[in-house]
Structure 1
Amino acid sequence: MRFTSSNQFSGHIYGTKSRQTSIGATDFLGANARMASLLPTAMRMGRLQKDCADALPPMFSDCDVLSFEDAQLVLATPTSAVAAKLKQQLPKLQGALTQRGWQINNIRLKVQVTRSIAPVVHTRQLDFPKTAVDAFAELGESLPDTPANARLIAAIKAMAARRR
């Protein structure tokens, strides 16, 4: 399948945390003829991930589709406990996916400690006005110096010092 322009197939790939990230990915894949051949597979896997998420209870939201080949679906689970609970849901999942048009003969589970999609890390630091920094510094000085407050006082003073 060839795409004549990168905007022809811009869309959200389910499973990505940001719509803008997935649009950037589809634009990148669609811009090159060789990479464009991967786009239908990526979109198919995204639809399968969405259908699995819709068919399973929310407690399995950390499970990901690893592969789907020869009518065998492989799902990643974050822990063996989740895998054990998910194993009980496999007949329901297989039935739901069959109703949605997926031909699945077997579902395997694979425990993976890390998720296949990296979490979004927010690195932006809040900006406090000078009055707020002064108020935190004053709070750090005015709290009673007890063993129960020691860590709180140290954290407040450190935060005020970093903001100055």
Structure 2
Amino acid sequence: MSTPTKNPARIFIHRGRPQQKVSGAADYLRLNDKMAMLLPTIQRNLRLKQDCQHILPRMFDSCEVLQLQDEVLTLAAPNAALATKLKQSGTKLQTCLQERGWQVNAIRIKVQVKRVVEKPTPVKQISLSNHALHALTELEQTLEKSKHNSDLHAALARMIARHQNK
């Protein structure tokens, strides 16, 4: 059994094989043949997605590149409406991708509904001091009551109420 080296970035992996030194994710992928075979495909799909986002920036934010096989690009859209818009822009996308060197002769679009994950409500990170709250209250009370200031009055009242409840 070999002794561990002094370099903390090196680890040893036991999988029924002789121990091999690993010093990062790239070395791990080289050791694991199946994962290493996927790496070029993942990199290609990432470059392809970046090119698609450059061509159709608004539409392609929520879409994914599934595969490029036999000159057929398969894309995933989160809903039917976006899939329809992508289909309408398919000719432009295909032409621009070909100009960038991609061999794409057809585009398939699949609707893949993603699970909706609710965003947590943000935690308020700022609080006003009593002095600041008093100054805002005084400003709201002394501000001239006119049609032009009505939105400002309402905003100040909401801010004061929100920070008094803390």
What is the TM-score with the length of structure 2 in the denominator? 0.54
Question: Structure 2: 5+ residue runs without aligned partners?
Answer: 1-8, 10-22, 143-152
CA-based RMSD of the aligned residues comes to: 4.2
3-state SS of 1:68 partner: strand
Q: Which has the higher helix share?
A: 1
Is residue 92 of structure 1 aligned with residue 92 of structure 2?
A: yes
Partners of 1:119 and 1:51 in 2: CA distance: 29
Larger radius of gyration: 2
Indicate the residue corresponding to 2:47 in structure 1. Answer: 47
5 Å-filtered alignment, 1:10-159, equals 29-33=25-29, 34=32, 35-56=35-56, 58-71=57-70, 72-114=72-114, 123=122, 125-130=124-129, 131-134=131-134, 157-159=161-163
Count of residue pairs brought into register by the alignment: 130
3-state SS of 2:96 partner: helix
CA contact (8 A) 1:76 1:110 kept: yes
3-state SS of 1:41 partner: helix
Superposed CA offset, 1:37-62 (max 9, x none): 44322221110001111222x33133
Cα distance, 1:120 vs. partner? 9.0
**What percentage of residue pairs aligned between the two structures are identical?**
37
Q: Which structure ranks higher in relative contact order (CA pairs < 8 Å, sequence separation ≥ 6)?
A: 1
- 1:70 maps to a residue whose letter is Q
Runs of 4+ in 1 over 6 A off after TM superposition: 118-122, 136-142, 152-155
Partners of 1:45 and 1:119 in 2: CA distance: 28
Quick check: 129-138 or 105-114, which moved more?
129-138
Partners of 1:28 and 1:122 in 2: CA distance: 36
